[in-house]
Amino acid sequence: MVFLGIDCGTQSLKVIAWEAGTGRFVSASRAYDLISNLPPGHKEQDPQVWIDALEQCMAELAQKTNLISGVEAIGISGQQHGLVVLDDHDQVIRPAKLWNDTSTDRQCTRIVEAFGGLDAYRAEIGNSLPPGFTASKLLWIKENEPANYQKIAAFFLPHDYLNFYLTGEKVAEAGDASGTGYFDVRNRRWSSGVLTAIDPDRDLAQALPNLISSATPAGQLRSELAQRWGVPQRAIASSGGGDNMMGAIGTGNVSTGLMTVSLGTSGTIYSYSDTAVIDPGGEIAAFCDSTGGWLPLGCTMNVTVATEMIRKSLLNVDHQAFSEAVDSIPPGAEGLILLPYLEGERMPPVSQGTGVLLGLRPSTSTPAHLARAAMEGVTLGLEYGLDRLQKLGMTPKEIRLIGGGAKSPVWRQMAADIFNVSVVSPVNEEGPAFGAAIQAMWAHTGEDIQRLAAEHVKLDESTRCAPKPNSVERYRQVSAVYNELADTLIGSPVFGEHRKLIES
Q: List active site positions.
A: 243
351: closest CA among 45, 106, 81, 79? 106
CA pair distance 290, 227, nearest whole angstrom: 29
Residues 6+ apart with CB under 8 A from 474: 331, 332, 417
* Size (the chain), residues: 504
Residue-wise DSSP of 283-328: -SEEEE-SSSSEEEEEEES-SHHHHHHIIIIII---HHHHHHHHHT
Beta-bridge partners for 344: 342
Contact between 240 and 159 (Cβ < 8 Å): yes
259: closest CA among 395, 375, 377? 395
CA pair distance 9, 87, nearest whole angstrom: 24
What's the Cα-to-Cα distance from 128 to each of 30, 375, 391, rounded to whole Å? 34, 28, 18
CA pair distance 491, 249, nearest whole angstrom: 38
φ, ψ (nearest 5 deg) of residue 13: -120, 135
CA pair distance 219, 215, nearest whole angstrom: 12
Omega before 348 cis (within 30°)?
Answer: yes
CA pair distance 469, 117, nearest whole angstrom: 45
Residues 6+ apart with CB under 8 A from 245: 77, 175, 176, 287, 288, 289, 290, 295, 435
CA pair distance 53, 46, nearest whole angstrom: 12
> For 183-208, b where at least 16 C-beta lie within 10 A, e where not — what string?
bbbbebebbebbbbbbeeeeebeebb
E strands of 112-265, at which residues? 154-156, 171-172, 183-184, 189-190, 210-211, 219-220, 236-237, 241-242, 258-263
Strand, helix or coil for residue 72: strand
E strands of 191-266, at which residues? 210-211, 219-220, 236-237, 241-242, 258-263
Strand, helix or coil for residue 127: coil
φ, ψ (nearest 5 deg) of residue 142: -60, -40
Contact between 330 and 310 (Cβ < 8 Å): no
Strand, helix or coil for residue 165: helix
